[in-house]
């Protein structure tokens, strides 16, 4: 996708989110939370809840379309004669049935040397599993099967919806706390008319500061859940294809983890990929994925 198409997509999606949220605010008659009498906390909470949760679920609803455009994913036609693509479809169909999914997700391939795959979509019926061309070319068929099993487990577990709900609630509380504290510290409710302009500026700057700090703290929660769901998806992949296959697939990812593709490192999709960028020490708290070594050890110690 060209740079200008990416910019257009970004602007169009954000405009859609803003429009939808504005309509919902109007329907429920949510009034401005800053009034002459001070801060209306009930209106503020409603405002933050709509923006935080509804905005996140609008993004989730668009996630499959966004992934296709952002990653340049080629959806595999069910009548394809490409043997690699055909094999991928057969694996997805068989494991989807085994995972009790209501429908087989769309299956696609994106061009990248990295060995990676991800699942996304707003529901189990409207999901997408995508693998990189590098993974398709370098992975042994049994390991590829385990990777697909891992991604289908994400869908079966409802991880995308749960992650969206967690992120939406965190966004709402971040917005609420940032504005409540900024209002208290900026002195907007105490200043006279002459000093009101400077207090508005202080309020705005404090909101930006508190939102940054609280969002950073909130990301600890989302990253912790993301790591938990990776362990759970590994177990799901092992149940669908076998523990040894899942461990072998992770070992191959560990060997090949140095192969990165900066053009395909989409932040919005990083948490949904099977392999993440490794972080050490304190930064590991902000990692969306556990280390592959820890994931292998967790599988080796598991009993099912």
Q: Which residues are known catalytic residues?
A: 151
Helices (H), 242-284: 243-256, 267-270
Distance CA 7, CA 30 (A): 31
Do residues 156 and 124 touch, judged by C-beta distance below 8 A?
Answer: yes
CB < 8 Å & 24+ apart, contacts of 271-279: 271/163, 271/222, 271/223, 271/226, 272/118, 272/119, 272/120, 272/154, 272/160, 273/116, 273/117, 273/118, 274/116, 274/117, 274/118, 274/147, 274/150, 274/151, 274/230, 274/233, 275/114, 275/115, 275/116
Alpha-carbon dihedral sign for residues 280, 282, 287, 291: positive
């Amino acid at each position: 996708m060209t740079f200008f198409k990416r910019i257009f997509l970004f602007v169009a999606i954000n405009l859609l989110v803003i429009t939808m949220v504005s309509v919902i605010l109007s329907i429920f008659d949510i009034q401005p939370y800053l009034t002459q009498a001070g801060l209306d906390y009930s209106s503020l909470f409603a405002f933050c809840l709509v923006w935080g949760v509804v905005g996140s679920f609008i993004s989730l609803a668009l996630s499959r379309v966004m992934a296709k455009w952002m990653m340049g994913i080629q959806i595999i036609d069910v009548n394809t004669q490409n043997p690699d693509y055909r094999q991928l479809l057969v694996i997805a169909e068989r494991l989807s049935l085994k995972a009790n999914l209501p429908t087989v997700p769309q299956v696609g391939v994106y061009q990248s040397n990295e060995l990676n795959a991800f699942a996304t979509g707003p529901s189990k019926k409207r999901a997408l599993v995508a693998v990189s061309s590098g993974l398709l070319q370098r992975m042994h068929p049994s390991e590829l099967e385990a990777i697909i099993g891992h991604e289908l487990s994400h869908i079966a577990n409802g991880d995308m919806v749960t992650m969206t709900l967690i992120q939406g609630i965190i966004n709402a509380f971040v917005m609420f706390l940032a504005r409540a504290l900024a209002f208290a510290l900026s002195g907007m409710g105490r200043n006279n008319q002459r000093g009101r302009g400077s207090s508005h500026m202080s309020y705005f700057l404090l909101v930006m500061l508190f939102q940054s700090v609280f969002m950073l703290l909130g990301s600890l929660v989302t990253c912790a859940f993301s790591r938990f769901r990776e362990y759970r998806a590994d177990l799901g992949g092992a149940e669908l294809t076998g523990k040894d296959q899942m461990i072998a697939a992770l070992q191959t990812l560990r060997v090949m983890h140095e192969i990165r593709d900066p053009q395909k490192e989409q932040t919005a999709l990083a948490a949904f990929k099977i392999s993440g960028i490794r972080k050490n020490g304190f930064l590991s708290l902000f990692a969306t994925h556990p280390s592959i070594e820890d994931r292998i050890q967790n599988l080796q110690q598991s009993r099912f």
